[in-house]
Structure 1
Amino acid sequence: MDTEAQHTERDPSSGTEDGSRSARVSEDAQGPGETRDPGDAGTAEETAERAGAGPSASTWRRTALVGGACVMFLLLLSHFVMQPFLIPSRSMEPTLQVGDRILVNKLAYRFGSEPERGDVVVFDGTGSFVREQPPGDPVTGLLHDGAAALGLAEPDETDFVKRVVGVGGDRVVCCDADGRLTVNGVPVQEWYVKLGDRPSSVPFDIVVPPDRLWVMGDHRSQSSDSRDHLGSPGGGMVPVDRVVGRADWIAWPLGRWTTVQETDAFDAVPAAPAGGHGAAPHG
């Protein structure tokens, strides 16, 4: 009878007495009222992460995919919409300083608009400021272009940033009797020029051909610009279709975050006359 009673009291689902004791310990660890879902155990990789084994291979893959997608997005953005450029020289002081990273609006001239007098533009100087160069190592060039597109490297040696002073048909002269630059016979008060610089130490009198630009740096004594290429093929004029875009913002350093200020210096300048022969400068 005693033996039969002992068998009757034992929980049939527990197996052995040890098994019953193990089940109770497990339940106590979960806490009262909790049940364990077999699916909560997670994968072996998640278990390893919880145990302090570090990120799993799948986590690294996800991170790499997200990072790659972000880089691809930035490259596409810089190629078609807005590209950062690093300023490597003093030629545009005080407007732009060495180390500034500017954001160039590549849509500014995409829909029928063209550069205007006073715009600060980035352009490819191949054929106007520099000679055509034989192609280099394509892999190195691709890596450099990618870094430059993200603003992490200096731009190509063929890329320049200058201010548009004359557009197609304009007559640009320097200097008049008062030492001022004139466009189509009207003196221009160039407040953006580096303090202490003259409008130009090199005299010139040119008429800008159609679809070309006459460009100059704001730091005239430190800028190699259209004046320095008067005797070169193209006469220092930059083809409009070589313009990369308009410099609209200074993005870095943070203390200089601002828009590139527009100028009203050319507001009084009349449109170029038909035939492209501007008026004689006022004296």
Structure 2
Amino acid sequence: MPLVVGIRFKEKGKVYYFDPCELSLKLGDKVIVETVKGTEMGTVVTEVKEVPEEKLVSPLKKVLRVAREQDILREQQNRDKAKEAIEITEKKIKEHGLDMHLVDAEYAFDGSRVTIYFTADARVDFRELVKDLASTLKTRVELRQIGVRDEAKLIGGFGPCGRELCCSSFLYEFEPISIKLAKEQNLSLNPSKISGICGRLLCCLRFEAEEVAVEEGPTLALEIGSYVITPEGEGKVVSRDEQKGTIIVEFEDGTTDEFPEEEVDVKNVET
């Protein structure tokens, strides 16, 4: 099996695999790698390991070398230039009267290209803006429209739970999220309760649903509508709280009570 090493180009970005080319690499090393867009500098985030060839995207690009002092200096200069590019771009957007929101900018490692990220509610004709920026910045300019989730990931912040955003702290890729995930966890369907600062459904709906599934195991007998035996008598399950691990049971007299699932047994109903 081929040997690979995991490289990340952004602090919270996706991990890409490269051929280590017999280099002695350790976690945290800054390295120069070959990519489809030219040479870039990244950080080693996984140790060299064997991976089945069918799981790799061929052809595997190579790690060219461990970053030298001048490479790290160049990367810092690129970050400084990116800040200047953001200021210039903001002025140019106003001059051209475009309805777009600037998010971030980054230079390619060799300085041959600057990528500018923005959001907009609709398509934007930025052809004249690109020409103007290329003339001012003296390099090739690429404008890339991103979604609101990507914007939140780049900018960062705190969610309604008070913790750092999942997308900017530990989630490296976005997965599809549907309202069904909120329903399965018996959460309020009020948009203000299940939406993040990006305005989209909370990322945690997916991985918390997966955690609930693991904790509950492969089968779940206490479905809504099931007849159960509780410490207070027999009744029917009318609701469940996945987060608390409890169920609401309705008794024959119409009253309800809440019980931990482990205190309730399923009643066998003869047909």
TM-score (norm 1): 0.22
- Greater C-alpha radius of gyration: 1
Q: Larger relative CO (CA 8 A, sep 6+): 1 or 2?
A: 1
